Chain A
Amino acid sequence: EVQLQESGPGLVKPSQSLSLTCSVTGYSITSNYWGWIRKFPGNKMEWMGYISYSGSTSYNPSLKSRISITRDTSKNQFFLQLNSVTTEDTATYYCARSYMGITPFDYWGQGVMVTVSS
């Protein structure tokens, strides 16, 4: 069974970088698409971007200058880096799998809450 697990610091200071890891078991990240989605307080959901089976990436234009998604296929992990964070980046961050591109996400991690605060 495909399982995803997010990890990373729960508190980040404003202007710093947010870095999260998604560890995948039961399936290789060299297949399909692997994305990051966040849920803000108040329930608004935002797709952040994905990394594909080949390593290509696609990002939400609203984040394009601040976001980077990379991977380590030897560890079956992919990563999110979001630069220059503000308090508006406070959210629960989820990693998830989609079959192809922006098709619906069929497997999700449990989520990690990240607070941006000094």
Chain B
Amino acid sequence: DIQMTQSPASLSASLGETVTIECLASEDIYSNLAWYQQKPGKSPQLLIYYANSLNDGVPSRFSGSGSGTQYSLKINSLQSEDVSIYFCQQNYDSPPTFGAGTKLELK
């Protein structure tokens, strides 16, 4: 299985700040990388697919980048509603595998 190493495990930031979450794959996943947001008590929501494509309805302050084995999710101008757990997931090879998650809190 492809291992996804996500960092940091937790993150505290202020409103308006820019935050970055990273994901490292154990092998090249050719941009087959998705990011999900899971708000407390809710199901995961797809934010970004194919490393940098924004899903419908996702605010433009979210962006994804990366290639090969290294990927990142950037949130510009942090809002209170962005408090969530964020997961990366590779869908290059079966079984699809997830990062351990990053818990984003407000400072």
Q: Is B62 an interface residue (CB 8 A)?
A: no
Q: In residues 71-104 of chain B, which contact A (Cβ within 8 Å)? A: 85, 87, 89, 91, 94-98, 100-101, 103
Cβ distance B89 to chain A, nearest Cβ, rounded Å: 7
In the complex, which residues of chain A have a beta carbon less than 8 angstroms from the beta carbon of B24? none
Which residue of B43, B96, B100 contacts A44 across the interface (Cβ within 8 Å)? B100
B interface bracket (residues with beta carbon within 8 Å of A): 20 to 34
Question: Residue among A47, A60, A104, A111 with the most chain B CB within 10 A?
Answer: A104
Judge whether A78 is part of the interface by a CB distance below 8 angstroms.
no
Query: A102 with B85: in contact, given A43-B101, A111-B43 (CB under 8 Å)?
Result: no
A105 near B85 with CB under 8 A, answer no
Cross-chain contact B43 with A104 (CB below 8 angstroms): no
A90-114 CB contacts (< 8 Å) to partner B: 94, 101-106, 108-111
Number of A residues contacting the other chain (C-beta, 8 Å)?
Answer: 20
B42 close to chain A: CB less than 8 A:
yes
Known interface pairs A102-B91, A103-B91, A104-B91; A47-B43 also in contact (CB < 8 Å) = no
- What are some 14 contacts across the A-B interface (CB < 8 A)? A43-B85, A44-B98, A45-B89, A47-B96, A47-B97, A62-B95, A94-B43, A102-B94, A102-B95, A104-B91, A108-B43, A110-B42, A110-B43, A111-B43
Name A's B-contacting residues (CB within 8 A): 43-47, 58, 60-62, 94, 101-106, 108-111
